[in-house]
Amino acid sequence: MIEHLFVVFAFGAAGVFCLVSLYVSFIWLPRKMERAYRNALRTLATAVETKDFSTLGHAERVAELAVRIAQKLGLSAAEVKNVRYAALMRDIGKASVPHRILNKQGDLTEGELRVVRNHVREGAAIVSQIPFLAPLADIILHHHERWDGSGYPDGLAGEQIPLASRIIGLVDDYEAMTSDRPYHRAIQEAEARRRIEEAAGVLYDPAVVEAFLAVSDSLPLKPETPEASAA
């Protein structure tokens, strides 16, 4: 009888041990790693933003809205994760742009513009050297392409542009329009939404614009600033 109870107990304990091991290996550890990755990326994004004063807090807001658009478009969980990470890391290449150019008050010269625009290539080169970020390289490289082919660096058009880049490019513009920058004053969010809607099929993917309008209406990126209200 005692031997029988011992065997039952031993099998029970082994079962519990197996379940705990499975939970730790496939749920707890991956979640912990995911949080660590995300925090590391946030820190890197913030490090770049402290160099470009006008964009402080920008990456986090762009990432949040980009993720909501990606979810609205029905992207898979893995694709949504790539959108989040790429949105956080998209301007990491600005680390190579001199501070005086990033924060210049007047118009940029042709040469300075070339240096700023090169941040997409620099950023793609940086992430491609880090195995778990390598899939983001293409998204980062093309986040300034435009639907009509007028963007950079390669002048890609329409669906040649990775979908994640189309999403991030639109949100990046929206966030820039509604923020004070060295070269312009913030405009109201409703006005920025109107301009983006107007540019559907020209600068932006119409499907991405539709998803953006659906989610941004219920999620203002930030409270209206006095400057934006006055614009």
Q: Residues in the site for Fe ion, rule: CB under 5 A? A: 91
Question: For Fe ion, which is the closer residue by CB, 33 or 113?
Answer: 113
The span from the CA of 83 to the CA of 93, in Å, is 17
State the CB neighbour count (10 A cutoff) for residue 125: 15
Q: Do residues 60 and 42 make contact, with C-beta atoms less than 8 angstroms apart?
A: yes
Find the shortest distance in angstroms from Cβ 93 to Fe ion.
Answer: 8
- Choice between 152 and 231, CB closer to Fe ion: 152
CB of 192 to Fe ion, least distance (A): 17
Shortest Å distance, C-beta 41 to Fe ion: 15
For residue 65, which of 222, 207, 216 has the smallest C-alpha distance?
216
Distance of closest approach, residue 62 Cβ to Fe ion, in angstroms: 10
User: In terms of CB distance, is 91 or 205 closer to Fe ion?
Assistant: 91
The Cα–Cα gap between 175 and 188 comes to 11
Three-state secondary-structure class, residue 230:
helix
| Residue of closest CB approach to Fe ion | 91
64: closest CA among 50, 45, 48, 47?
A: 45
Cα–chain center distance at 200: 20
Note whether 168 and 86 are within 8 A (CB).
yes
Tell me whether residue 91 or residue 175 sits nearer to Fe ion (CB atom): 91
- State which residue, 91 or 145, has the beta carbon closest to Fe ion: 91
Please report how close the Cβ of residue 143 comes to Fe ion at its closest, in angstroms: 6
Assess contact for 168 and 67: CB atoms under 8 A: no
